[in-house]
Amino acid sequence: RRKKLLIADMDSTIITDESLDEMAALAGLGEAVAAISVRSMNGELDFEAALDERVAMFAGQPANLFESILAATQLTAGARTLVQTMRTHRAHCYLVSGGFNPVADRIAERCGFHAAHANDMTISDDVIIGTVKKPVLGRESKAQLLAHYCAEHTLAASDAAAIGDGANDMTVLQAAGMGVAFAGKDVLRAAIDLQL
């Protein structure tokens, strides 16, 4: 039962909130962005299309919004302990998020993940342009990263644990030997047996 690989989602899993929604609240876009986030995480909207739509609303906003939300971002209770415990037992730990690198990189550092993978907003002269660099890291990408790290470390999928909360985590949770729905959305709870 002791796993050798961890693939963890970030928003509402390793951290307590949805970082893009928090940025939107600071930018005065809170309700519009959060409404799309809820539908996307419930599997009602295509993840990439929903991400593009939300990021487009940020066009012209200052890039230092990332720093502003990081100052207030809270780790979920036990998140750092999970990563540090797995690392103590020589597991490889990766933060794999549909969110954005400026947040994911810092959260990965705080928890002790080996690396982070997330998306990039296009930024020019410290201003958000309103587009996401392609390809978007979404549902299929998370499962591909699981397969990549299994191959890199000569592990089977059964050696891996994956944890997440939304519809875009479904494929990686189903592929891992231990897939955990953490405070999962309804669509995830209907499909994943192991739930916290």
* Catalytic residue chosen out of the listed positions 11, 21, 159, 165: 11
Q: What's the pLDDT score for residue 182?
A: 97
Q: Binning pLDDT at 50, 70 and 90, where does residue 68 land?
A: very high
Name which of 195, 58, 62, 48 is nearest 135 in CA terms: 48
Q: Binning pLDDT at 50, 70 and 90, where does residue 42 land?
A: confident
Under DSSP, the state recorded for 46 is -
Per the structure block, which two tokens stand in for 114? 């080996």
The percent of residues in the chain predicted with pLDDT above 90, rounded, is 92
Q: Verify whether residue 11 is a known catalytic residue.
A: yes
Q: What's the pTM? A: 0.94
| pLDDT tens, residue by residue, 21-38 | 999 999 999 999 989 988
Non-local (6+) Cβ contacts of 148 within 8 A are none
Whether the per-residue pLDDT at 185 is higher than 90: the answer is yes
Give the number of other CB atoms < 10 A from CB of residue 138.
18
| Backbone Cα Rg of the chain | 16
